[in-house]
Each structure stands twice: as C-alpha cells, then as structure tokens.
Amino acid sequence: MTKILIARNLPESVVAEARAAFDVTYRDRPDPMSRDEMLASLSDYDGVLMTLGDQYTAEVFAAAGVPRARILANFGVGFNHIDVEVAKHAGITVTNTPGAVTDATADIAMTLILMSCRRAGEGERLVRMGNWRGWHPVQMLGLHVTGKTVGILGMGRIGQAIARRCHYGFGMEVAYMSRSEKTLDHPATRYDTPEDLAANVDILVTALPGGAQTHHTVNESVLAAMRPHAHFVNIARGDVVDEAALIAALQEKRIAGAGLDVYEFEPRVPDALRDLESVVLLPHLGTAALEVREDMGRMAVANLRAFFAGEPVPNPV
C-alpha cells in the first residue's frame, strides 16, 4: 500500500480520509519537521502531506539524493517554503490548496483593517489593564473606514475577495497593482508600481504570494510613499515586507498603524513590533477556521489520491 507521511497535526476528519486511502504515518505535532525528518520523509515515503514551515530547500533535496517520495502535497496555498524547480528536477510533483483559503484569508484582512484603523487592539488592552476611565468625545480617535480608498498589492483570488468586501461592504474606492489588468465586477484603479499605489490610498493591503520575486516588495520606498494617516495590512507572507523598514516607519509615526497576520521571520516577532501600540498582531490566523482547514486537508488528500491513481493532480504548482 502507498506510504504517506502526514507531517503536521491536522483535523481528525482529514487524517481519517487519508488513512482510508493510504498507509499513513501521522506526525501529530504542531512544530515543523527538522532537517533530518525532512530527509527521512523523502527517503521513506511515497508521498508527503506537509505545510508551511517545512522548509524543502534545494539543500534538503540535494542531501536526500534520489528520493522515494514522488509528491509533496502542500497543505496551504503558499508554497515559497518549497524549492519547486528543484523538486521537479528530482521528479517530485508539488501541489497546493488554492480556493479553499480565499474567503477566510479575506475575512482576516478585513479584521485587521478594522482593528488597525479603529485602534481595537489598543482599546482592548486599555480595558483589560483596568486603565479605561470612561467615554469622552476625543478618546482614541481612529480612521473612519467607510468611503476610504483601499490599495491592494496583488489582485489574485484573495486580493479580489478583499476588494469586493471593501467596495460592497464599506463603500470603499478600490485601487490595485498587479502584473495585468483585471476584469472586476466593480470600479477599480490600477497603478503601475507599489509606490504609486501606496501614495494614493488610505489603507494598503498586501495579497501577494511569497517567494524570491516578491521578497521585500513593501520596502522603505513604498512605506515612505504612504500618507501619514494611512494604515498597512499584511495577510500574505512575512517576507513580502521589509520588517525593519516597517518598524522604523511605525516608530517614527510616518504611517498611522499596521495590522499583521504574518511576519518576516515567523514565528519570531521582534520586540520592537510587540512594543508598538499602533500595531495589531495576530498569530497567522488567516485560514484558522475548522471548516476551512478541513477543506484544505481534503484538497491535499485529493491531490495525493489523483497522483497515485495516475490521474492529473487537481492543483499542481
């Protein structure tokens, strides 16, 4: 029977579905695999269901030699933790789980937009610490979101879902930057560079894939282009942002605030970020709803099932 490694703890329904189709070894742990575990995953199993944090780098593939594994079924849409080209040269198919994550991630973007602009995290801390002295007319004034302009870096599935929520839910004007013009069901203005986009919006949201091509897209020059009242939100990948430049912009109050669900060196979050009241910090909650994680798991298992049945995988990368 085909041997599959499930490399992280997953919803039980997903594990049961995989066990019904394969000889499964279940690594029921929340932490990423070590280098030795990744080497063993390539040499001891026919396929691996793995996820963010399992760093299948070129060095790991080189050290593994000729792999037994023929497929890495990634649990998640982002795959910048896998050197896909090297995997393909080694004869390994890589798949992901697009679609299942779109709405949940867009919802977290809206959560961060509202929390950052309306200073919700700061306000909750005030109440929890017993420091709230009651309502008054100029207490914790934030940015009114309705009717403002949102700028979206990356207008793929998730970016478009965020744009729809902003436009139809909050009457916001939509601007974006992407490699190509998009056909949308609402008005939107396209800009050619991240700097041009940043200069013309009240809220800047990143919805870019991770990887070498997007590394530090949001850098010092993009942050410098933002207006002083503007807020920045990242629900993409941490390395899309130059974290040091973002910290400096926030410390110097060159932008009003930020909402972050991902970090450049995740799970490490710099003290400088944690010390800033103007930042909302979430622990990578983008897809953290049971039904979403179950959908992601079923997609990963479907990719495995199709591959070993000799059929085209539904979600190749």
Sequence-distant contacts of 119-126: CB under 8 A, at least 24 apart: 119/257, 120/280, 121/279, 121/280, 121/281, 122/277, 122/278, 125/277
Q: Nearest CA to 5 among 68, 87, 76, 85? A: 68
**Residue pair 298/306 in contact by the 8 Å Cβ criterion:** no
Known catalytic membership, residue 277: no
From the list 227, 229, 254, 284, the catalytic residue is 284
Q: Is 284 a catalytic residue?
A: yes
Please pick, among 195, 220, 266, 294, the residue that the annotation labels catalytic: 266
Q: How far apart are CA 16 and CA 308, in angstroms?
A: 18
- 266 is annotated as an active-site residue: yes
**In b/e form, how buried is each residue of 168-199, taking b as 16+ CB within 10 angstroms?**
eebebbbbbbbeeeeeeeeebebbeebbbbbb
Which of 119, 237, 293, 305 is catalytic? The answer is: 237
Q: Which residues are catalytic?
A: 237, 266, 284
